[in-house]
């Protein structure tokens, strides 16, 4: 067997990675290429990057329909620094009879001699180098010649015309310039949006402390305890479903921030800020606490993330086609540890970690049953949401 190992952070994976793997498969008659997803590479500061699980998910989505390409997750799960020589020593041991090829970008090759134990890597694998846009080929060929003279393994250039963007450009411009999305598999693009990746807003524990203190002053004590329950449940669901966990926690902390104000004030805030009010909301103004809460996020609490505002706006009724954070907050609000009146809570609490859409549907089912017994309180959005998730459960959307 001839096995290619393509190392990288894949943050995010894009079409150029797939093209390079396919070019290497063809040119060097490889049987398989594995994307070796880096965990905590020693040469990169990963403090600002996205959850590792999201990078893995995106690679899996991008290679679903690529029969010659697979994924190697060993570095993601390794503790400590993730040195390539450790991975290649393991891979060679697992495949003693096979030829191993290490596929890397030209930027990596230029520093290869400075890596930790490059001689061990080159004993285990031949190096295949993918040129990048703007490379000076003379410099690249000199680097290859130098590596050949220093190390035992072979070094070769992949015959691939570089024309793609760097992952860093996609990260920086994803929300500013939609044309960069053309370099992504549509499933990866959808994943980035749904998981709120590369957002200009991110949150940390300091934000959690600040907003919790604000809510402690703002809310009645029982509402504050409920809020903490929703925030921690949202945090835990976010970890399970690979959503940025502090972002989910901030949404949980703020979701009822407009709950403890008067009906008159809720209506006044909406009217003053051109937030539309439906008839049922005039009739039951407490239903407005989601919309007013979304408005307060920005105006009172300096939280500008649109996904947080949206999740708060729809948390009471849900809405058809909720995004991941909407579902996390909708579910967390219903199953947090302080709840004890709703039916089948034990089942819902475990379903939330097994199948989030199914849990959303079950909650809507119970809500619709409850509303059928109290028909004067029916909000049509709840019914629309129920019908949407009913179709989703049948596989129709």
Nearer of residues 132 and 291 to Fe ion, judged by Cβ: 291
Number of other residues whose CB lies within 10 A of the CB of residue 127: 23
- Cα distances (Å, whole numbers) of residue 323 to 97, 100, 190, 359, 360: 47, 42, 10, 14, 12
181: left (phi > 0), else alpha (psi -120 to 50), else beta? Answer: alpha
Q: Please report whether residue 336 would count as binding Fe ion according to CB under 5 A.
A: no
In the complex, the smallest distance separating the C-beta of residue 376 from Fe ion, rounded to whole angstroms, is 20
Nearer of residues 60 and 315 to Fe ion, judged by Cβ: 315
Nearer of residues 207 and 333 to Fe ion, judged by Cβ: 333
Return the CA Rg of the chain. Answer: 26
Coil/strand/helix, residue 131: coil
Nearer of residues 191 and 330 to Fe ion, judged by Cβ: 330
In the complex, the smallest distance separating the C-beta of residue 390 from Fe ion, rounded to whole angstroms, is 23
In the complex, the smallest distance separating the C-beta of residue 314 from Fe ion, rounded to whole angstroms, is 11
- Kindly determine how many residues on this chain lie close enough to bind Fe ion according to the rule CB under 5 A: 2
Nearer of residues 256 and 351 to Fe ion, judged by Cβ: 256
Question: What tokens were used for 342?
Answer: 């709703």
Nearer of residues 3 and 231 to Fe ion, judged by Cβ: 231
- CB proximity list for 223: less than 8 A, separation 6 or greater: 256, 259, 260
Q: Which stretch binds Fe ion (CB under 5 A): 34-42, 243-251, 303-311, 327-335?
A: 327-335
- CB proximity list for 72: less than 8 A, separation 6 or greater: 5, 34, 35, 36, 37, 87, 91
In the complex, the smallest distance separating the C-beta of residue 378 from Fe ion, rounded to whole angstroms, is 17
Coil/strand/helix, residue 87: helix
Site string for Fe ion, 207-246 (x = CB under 5 A): ----------------------------------------
DSSP 151: S
Residue pointed to by tokens 């500013």 = 176
Q: Which stretch binds Fe ion (CB under 5 A): 16-24, 63-71, 331-339, 384-392?
A: 331-339
Cis peptide before 12 (omega within 30 of 0): yes
In the complex, the smallest distance separating the C-beta of residue 287 from Fe ion, rounded to whole angstroms, is 9
Q: Which stretch binds Fe ion (CB under 5 A): 83-91, 143-151, 333-341, 364-372?
A: 333-341
- Beta pairing class for 32-37 and 2-8: parallel
- Please, what is the end-to-end C-alpha distance for the chain in angstroms? 42
Nearer of residues 333 and 379 to Fe ion, judged by Cβ: 333
Cβ–Cβ < 8 Å for 290, 315 = yes
In the complex, the smallest distance separating the C-beta of residue 217 from Fe ion, rounded to whole angstroms, is 18
In the complex, the smallest distance separating the C-beta of residue 333 from Fe ion, rounded to whole angstroms, is 4
* Choice from 52, 72, 218, 256 touching Fe ion (CB under 5 A): 256
In the complex, the smallest distance separating the C-beta of residue 262 from Fe ion, rounded to whole angstroms, is 16
* Choice from 72, 218, 333, 351 touching Fe ion (CB under 5 A): 333
Number of other residues whose CB lies within 10 A of the CB of residue 37: 25
Nearer of residues 104 and 248 to Fe ion, judged by Cβ: 248
List interacting residues with Fe ion (CB under 5 A).
256, 333
């Amino acid at each position: 067997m001839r096995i290619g190992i393509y190392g990288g952070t894949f943050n995010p994976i894009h079409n150029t990675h797939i093209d390079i793997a396919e070019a290497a498969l063809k040119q060097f008659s490889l049987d398989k290429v594995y994307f070796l997803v880096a965990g905590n590479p020693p040469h990169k500061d990963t403090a600002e990057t996205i959850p590792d699980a999201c990078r893995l998910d995106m690679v899996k989505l991008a290679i679903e329909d690529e029969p010659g390409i697979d994924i190697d997750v060993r570095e993601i799960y390794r503790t400590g620094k993730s040195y390539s020589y450790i991975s290649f020593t393991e891979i060679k041991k697992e495949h003693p009879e096979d030829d191993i090829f290490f596929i890397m970008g030209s930027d990596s090759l230029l520093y290869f001699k400075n890596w930790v134990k490059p001689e061990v890597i080159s004993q285990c694998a031949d190096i295949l180098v993918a040129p990048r846009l703007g490379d000076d080929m003379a410099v690249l060929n000199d680097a290859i010649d130098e590596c050949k003279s220093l190390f035992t393994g072979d070094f070769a250039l992949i015959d691939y015309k570089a024309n793609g963007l760097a992952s860093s450009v996609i990260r920086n411009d994803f929300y500013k310039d939609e044309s960069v999305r053309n370099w992504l598999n549509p499933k990866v693009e959808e994943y980035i949006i749904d998981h709120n990746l590369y957002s200009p807003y991110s949150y940390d524990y300091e934000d959690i402390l600040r907003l919790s203190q604000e809510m402690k002053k703002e809310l009645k004590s029982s509402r504050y305890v409920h809020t903490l329950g929703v925030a921690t449940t949202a945090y835990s669901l976010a970890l399970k479903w690979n959503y940025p966990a502090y972002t989910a926690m901030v949404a949980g902390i703020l979701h009822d921030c407009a709950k403890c104000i008067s009906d008159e004030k809720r209506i006044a805030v909406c009217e003053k800020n051109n937030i539309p009010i439906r008839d049922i909301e005039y009739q039951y103004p407490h239903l407005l606490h989601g919309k007013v809460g979304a408005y307060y996020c920005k105006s009172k609490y300096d939280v500008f993330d649109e996904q947080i505002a949206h999740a708060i706006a729809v948390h009471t009724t849900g809405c058809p086609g909720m995004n991941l954070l909407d579902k996390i907050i909708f579910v967390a609000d219903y199953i947090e540890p302080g709840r004890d009146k709703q039916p089948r809570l034990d089942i819902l609490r475990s379903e939330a970690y097994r199948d989030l859409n199914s849990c959303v549907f079950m909650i809507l089912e119970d809500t619709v049953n409850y509303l059928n017994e109290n028909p004067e309180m029916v909000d049509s959005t709840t019914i629309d949401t129920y019908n949407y998730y009913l179709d989703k459960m049948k596989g129709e959307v």
